[in-house]
């Protein structure tokens, strides 16, 4: 099935079991060709960069809506099952971080709040609330772009993923870190 995207190009998607979402949260199951990234690199580096670029697209959509440009995607078996950008201002919701919205979309897609086997890609290191949600959702791997020295909870300021919880969250960082950091720096430079 072909679905228009906010980037202006059509995405080929497989229909999810449940389609739900607001203006700010898109639930989709995309094939590799749907995202338009077809370059060859060694996996997992190739996949990490590909999915981080998808998260950067979500960050750009958030920025165009006046939000802090943070984007996240949840991937299961090589398919995006949830994607979102920050939306606390738009939704009047302090919990509407990109990671939380992407987790909600992914859970609706598969019909289960447990997201075992899923990987979450986010452009900036998540805060304590978001890492906690990932632990509860049983996310397999968190992959983030740039660190957040003020509120990062995956190693920069706090290391919540390593605190002996009943679930082990694998954390990888630095994927497209410079590009992710530049996106945030440019946004805040315009605001000052």
Distance CA(189)–CA(191), nearest Å, equals 5
> Quick one: DSSP state of residue 80?
E
102 strand-pairing partners: none
- CA–centroid distance for 127 within its chain: 13
Output the six-digit token pair for 32: 């590799």
Residue that is written with structure tokens 């957040």 in the block: 148
User: Catalytic: 58?
Assistant: no
Distance CA(162)–CA(169), nearest Å, equals 8
Q: What angle (nearest 5°) sits at the alpha carbon of residue 28, between those of residues 26 and 30? A: 135
Write down the catalytic residue from 57, 58, 67, 99. Answer: 99
Residue that is written with structure tokens 């080929």 in the block: 12
Q: Is 138 exposed, middle or buried (0-12, 13-18, 19+ CB in 10 A)?
A: middle
Which residues are known to be catalytic? 99
């Amino acid at each position: 099935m072909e679905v228009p995207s906010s980037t202006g190009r059509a995405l080929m998607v497989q229909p999810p079991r449940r389609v739900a979402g607001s203006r700010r949260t898109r639930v989709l199951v995309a094939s590799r060709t749907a995202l338009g990234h077809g370059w060859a690199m060694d996996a997992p580096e190739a996949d990490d960069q590909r999915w981080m670029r998808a998260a950067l697209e979500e960050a750009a959509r958030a920025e165009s809506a006046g939000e802090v440009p943070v984007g996240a995607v949840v991937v299961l078996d090589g398919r995006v099952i949830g994607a979102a950008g920050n939306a606390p201002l738009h939704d009047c919701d302090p919990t509407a971080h990109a990671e939380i919205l992407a987790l909600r979309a992914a859970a609706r897609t598969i019909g289960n709040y447990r997201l075992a086997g899923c990987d979450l890609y986010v452009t900036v290191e998540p805060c304590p609330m978001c890492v906690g949600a990932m632990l509860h959702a049983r996310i397999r791997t968190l992959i983030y772009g740039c660190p957040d020295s003020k509120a990062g909870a995956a190693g920069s300021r706090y290391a919540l993923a390593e605190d002996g919880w009943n679930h082990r969250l694998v954390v990888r960082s630095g994927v497209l870190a410079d590009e992710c950091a530049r996106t945030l720096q440019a946004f805040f430079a315009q605001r000052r």
